[in-house]
Structure 1
């Protein structure tokens, strides 16, 4: 799967020491090779819990995962899925 470049994280992430720390760990792990899902999930969970106003709206009809989560009422998984687009390339962020 080809991915696009990593997005520049939004300003709120740089103002939060925990976001910055988790983002650095994610980048370090990702640059070492595949297998950074734990780091992605940890950062996503932090953003949902500590920055709920920053959770993006659902991606729309073109995102099968957003539709799945809406159908089954998986609110927290849906939010974690959506915040990954703040710090992961789109091809990766929408894959889980």
Structure 2
């Protein structure tokens, strides 16, 4: 059984969003998305048999493939990223970090991570966004 099969049907928190059409027009987006889904499927299958995962490299994990796609979206499609979502606690957290006074600014890395979080909303179920 995959993780998706074990989810309560109709629960919006567990539903994978359909990526926007413009992502399918980018060869890099398509490659990174397909890789992410393949690694996820392989990891879920191995988890069901007690195996560790695809391999021991954390960048080949499901999380690593999600981050790679999100990073690509920030770098190459920044203008297409969704706005902050009012109902998302992690969006609110990132916004608070970015809204600090000028002498407390977190720097470019925090801006990148916040933008990657917004990108994740395009292709990851809401239940998976809490730590990213």
What TM-score bracket applies, with the shorter chain setting the length?
0.7 to 0.9
Q: How many residues align?
A: 95
Which segments of 5 or more consecutive residues in structure 1 lack a partner in the other structure?
A: none
TM-score by length of 2: 0.64
Tell me if 1:41 matches 2:77. Answer: no
Tell me if 1:79 matches 2:105. Answer: no
Q: Distance between the aligned counterparts of 2:38 and 2:31, measured in 1?
A: 11
1:13-24 equivalences under 5 Å are: 13-24=23-34
Query: Which is bigger in relative contact order (C-alpha 8 A, separation at least 6)?
Result: 1
Q: Distance between the aligned counterparts of 1:68 and 1:23, measured in 2?
A: 26
Aligned-pair distance for 1:69? 1.5
TM-score by length of 1: 0.86
Does the CA contact (< 8 Å) of 1:14 and 1:20 recur in 2?
yes
Question: How much is the aligned-residue C-alpha RMSD, in angstroms?
Answer: 1.9
Does the CA contact (< 8 Å) of 2:23 and 2:30 recur in 1?
yes
Large movers: runs of 4+ above 6 Å: none
